[in-house]
Amino acid sequence: MSSTLVIISWVCRVVVAIILLQTLFFKFTGAEESKFIFTTLMGPEFEAYGRIGSGAVELVAAILLLIPATGTIGAFIALGTISGAIFSHLTKLGIVVKDDGGLLFALALTVFALSALVLLIHRREIPVIGHVFG
Protein backbone atom coordinates (compact mmCIF):
# COMPACT_ATOMS: atom_id res chain seq x y z
CA MET A 1 0.00 0.00 0.00
CA SER A 2 1.35 3.45 -0.85
CA SER A 3 2.30 5.86 1.89
CA THR A 4 -0.42 8.23 0.69
CA LEU A 5 -3.10 5.58 1.26
CA VAL A 6 -1.66 4.77 4.67
CA ILE A 7 -1.89 8.44 5.65
CA ILE A 8 -5.44 8.78 4.29
CA SER A 9 -6.46 5.63 6.17
CA TRP A 10 -5.04 6.94 9.44
CA VAL A 11 -6.64 10.35 9.04
CA CYS A 12 -10.03 8.70 8.39
CA ARG A 13 -9.63 6.33 11.34
CA VAL A 14 -8.63 9.10 13.73
CA VAL A 15 -11.47 11.41 12.62
CA VAL A 16 -14.04 8.61 13.00
CA ALA A 17 -12.65 7.68 16.42
CA ILE A 18 -12.76 11.31 17.58
CA ILE A 19 -16.38 11.72 16.46
CA LEU A 20 -17.41 8.47 18.13
CA LEU A 21 -15.53 9.26 21.34
CA GLN A 22 -16.87 12.81 21.67
CA THR A 23 -20.46 11.57 21.51
CA LEU A 24 -19.80 9.18 24.41
CA PHE A 25 -19.81 12.01 26.91
CA PHE A 26 -23.40 12.84 26.00
CA LYS A 27 -24.54 9.21 25.97
CA PHE A 28 -22.85 8.17 29.20
CA THR A 29 -23.83 11.29 31.17
CA GLY A 30 -27.46 11.14 30.05
CA ALA A 31 -27.47 14.48 28.25
CA GLU A 32 -30.92 15.80 27.32
CA GLU A 33 -30.34 15.29 23.57
CA SER A 34 -29.27 11.68 24.02
CA LYS A 35 -32.21 10.90 26.27
CA PHE A 36 -34.57 12.48 23.73
CA ILE A 37 -33.10 10.46 20.86
CA PHE A 38 -33.25 7.11 22.60
CA THR A 39 -36.65 7.76 24.17
CA THR A 40 -37.97 8.55 20.68
CA LEU A 41 -36.39 5.39 19.26
CA MET A 42 -36.97 2.91 22.08
CA GLY A 43 -39.46 4.36 24.51
CA PRO A 44 -38.73 5.62 28.01
CA GLU A 45 -38.41 2.15 29.55
CA PHE A 46 -35.50 1.17 27.26
CA GLU A 47 -33.90 4.57 26.66
CA ALA A 48 -30.95 4.02 29.01
CA TYR A 49 -30.21 0.57 27.60
CA GLY A 50 -30.11 1.90 24.04
CA ARG A 51 -28.06 4.95 24.96
CA ILE A 52 -25.48 3.10 27.06
CA GLY A 53 -25.44 0.07 24.76
CA SER A 54 -24.80 2.08 21.61
CA GLY A 55 -22.18 4.09 23.48
CA ALA A 56 -20.37 0.89 24.48
CA VAL A 57 -20.38 -0.35 20.88
CA GLU A 58 -19.06 3.01 19.67
CA LEU A 59 -16.32 2.94 22.32
CA VAL A 60 -15.20 -0.50 21.14
CA ALA A 61 -15.25 0.66 17.50
CA ALA A 62 -13.17 3.75 18.32
CA ILE A 63 -10.57 1.71 20.19
CA LEU A 64 -10.34 -0.89 17.43
CA LEU A 65 -9.96 1.84 14.79
CA LEU A 66 -6.88 3.15 16.56
CA ILE A 67 -5.11 -0.21 16.78
CA PRO A 68 -3.32 -1.00 13.49
CA ALA A 69 -4.16 -4.71 13.49
CA THR A 70 -7.88 -4.17 14.21
CA GLY A 71 -8.64 -1.01 12.22
CA THR A 72 -10.81 -2.76 9.64
CA ILE A 73 -12.85 -4.48 12.36
CA GLY A 74 -13.38 -1.08 14.00
CA ALA A 75 -14.41 0.38 10.64
CA PHE A 76 -16.95 -2.44 10.13
CA ILE A 77 -18.42 -1.88 13.59
CA ALA A 78 -18.53 1.90 13.10
CA LEU A 79 -20.16 1.50 9.67
CA GLY A 80 -22.81 -0.86 11.03
CA THR A 81 -23.58 1.25 14.07
CA ILE A 82 -23.74 4.51 12.15
CA SER A 83 -25.93 2.91 9.48
CA GLY A 84 -28.51 2.37 12.22
CA ALA A 85 -28.15 6.00 13.30
CA ILE A 86 -28.63 7.26 9.74
CA PHE A 87 -31.66 5.00 9.29
CA SER A 88 -33.11 6.35 12.54
CA HIS A 89 -32.60 9.93 11.39
CA LEU A 90 -34.30 9.20 8.07
CA THR A 91 -37.26 7.33 9.55
CA LYS A 92 -38.03 8.53 13.10
CA LEU A 93 -35.79 11.37 14.26
CA GLY A 94 -35.54 13.63 11.25
CA ILE A 95 -32.44 15.35 9.94
CA VAL A 96 -32.61 18.10 12.57
CA VAL A 97 -32.83 16.87 16.18
CA LYS A 98 -33.65 19.34 18.95
CA ASP A 99 -32.63 22.35 16.84
CA ASP A 100 -29.11 21.04 16.14
CA GLY A 101 -29.24 22.26 12.54
CA GLY A 102 -28.59 18.72 11.30
CA LEU A 103 -25.19 18.45 13.03
CA LEU A 104 -25.74 14.93 14.38
CA PHE A 105 -26.91 13.74 10.98
CA ALA A 106 -23.89 15.36 9.29
CA LEU A 107 -21.55 13.69 11.79
CA ALA A 108 -23.24 10.35 11.12
CA LEU A 109 -22.75 10.79 7.37
CA THR A 110 -19.10 11.69 7.97
CA VAL A 111 -18.54 8.57 10.09
CA PHE A 112 -20.27 6.46 7.44
CA ALA A 113 -18.23 7.86 4.54
CA LEU A 114 -14.87 7.72 6.31
CA SER A 115 -15.47 4.21 7.68
CA ALA A 116 -16.42 3.03 4.20
CA LEU A 117 -13.26 4.65 2.82
CA VAL A 118 -11.12 2.82 5.40
CA LEU A 119 -12.72 -0.46 4.33
CA LEU A 120 -12.15 0.37 0.68
CA ILE A 121 -8.49 1.18 1.29
CA HIS A 122 -8.00 -2.05 3.26
CA ARG A 123 -10.23 -4.27 1.14
CA ARG A 124 -7.37 -6.67 0.34
CA GLU A 125 -6.99 -7.36 4.06
CA ILE A 126 -10.61 -8.52 4.34
CA PRO A 127 -10.70 -12.22 3.33
CA VAL A 128 -13.96 -12.44 1.35
CA ILE A 129 -14.00 -8.90 -0.05
CA GLY A 130 -10.29 -8.93 -0.91
CA HIS A 131 -10.67 -11.98 -3.14
CA VAL A 132 -13.70 -10.65 -4.95
CA PHE A 133 -12.81 -6.96 -5.33
CA GLY A 134 -9.05 -7.01 -4.72
Domain ranges of the chain: 3-133
Percent share of the chain, pLDDT over 90: 90
Residue 129 clears pLDDT 70, i.e. is over it: no
Run of H or E including 100: none
pTM of the prediction? 0.91
Q: Please write the tens of the pLDDT for every residue from 47-78.
A: 999 999 999 999 999 999 999 999 999 999 99
- CA 81 to the chain's CA centroid: 5
In this prediction, residue 74 carries a pLDDT of: 97
Q: How far apart are CA 81 and CA 63, in angstroms?
A: 14
Q: How far apart are CA 104 and CA 89, in angstroms?
A: 9
